[in-house]
Amino acid sequence: MASILLRRGAFTAAPAVTPLFWRAPAASSILSFLAPTFAIGLRINVPPIISDIWESILKAVPKKKQSHSRKRMRQLAGKALQDITALNECPGCGSLKRSHHLCPTCVNEIKQMWKEGVGAGGSSTPALSEPGMGDARSSS
């Protein structure tokens, strides 16, 4: 049994005293440790074909924040309206109209008739506004 404990103790390297709180190193020691790695720089093997434009590729970043209007213009560009393919012939006047929509020619004719004061029966005033056509409840 003692030999098992010794072997187990030989393979584990646990410290005799474990600290209760871990202390983070100071920021100045971290910067002094990382400073040599920042000074090394970045070396990339670039093919000779693009070696002359490589510097401009690395510098291709925006200098200022893009304004709201320019961002919206960029996002909405190229989204043109789609062509309307669902067209039918109006049964009333024969002109083209969109499917499941009123014919604009017929609607304009009806508006013009109402502006002129011609009602549905062909009289000069609409049927509901004729004298004597009052509300039945008001006469009692």
Per-residue model confidence (pLDDT) at position 117:
86
Does the residue 140 lie in any domain?
no
Per-residue model confidence (pLDDT) at position 59:
74
**Higher local confidence (pLDDT), 43 or 1:** 43
Does the residue 127 lie in any domain?
no
Give the number of domains in the chain: 1
Who contacts 124 (Cβ-Cβ below 8 Å, separation ≥6)? 117, 118
Per-residue model confidence (pLDDT) at position 41:
58
- pLDDT confidence bin for 43, thresholds 50/70/90: low
Does the residue 103 lie in any domain?
yes
Residue that has been written with the tokens 């560009």 in this structure: 77
Does the residue 68 lie in any domain?
no
Does the residue 38 lie in any domain?
no
Over residues 52-61, mean pLDDT: 75
Per-residue model confidence (pLDDT) at position 93:
94
Q: Is the pLDDT of residue 68 over 90?
A: yes
Which helix (H) or strand (E) element contains residue 97? strand 96-98
Does the residue 49 lie in any domain?
no
User: Over pLDDT 90: what percentage of the chain?
Assistant: 30
Does the residue 107 lie in any domain?
yes
Over residues 17-30, mean pLDDT: 57
Does the residue 138 lie in any domain?
no
Q: What are phi and psi of 88, to 5 degrees?
A: -130, 170
Domain coverage including residue 112: 87-118
- pLDDT confidence bin for 1, thresholds 50/70/90: very low
User: Over pLDDT 70: what percentage of the chain?
Assistant: 51
Mean pLDDT over the full length of the chain:
72
Q: Is residue 121 a contact partner of residue 113, using CB atoms and an 8 Å limit?
A: no
- pLDDT confidence bin for 140, thresholds 50/70/90: very low
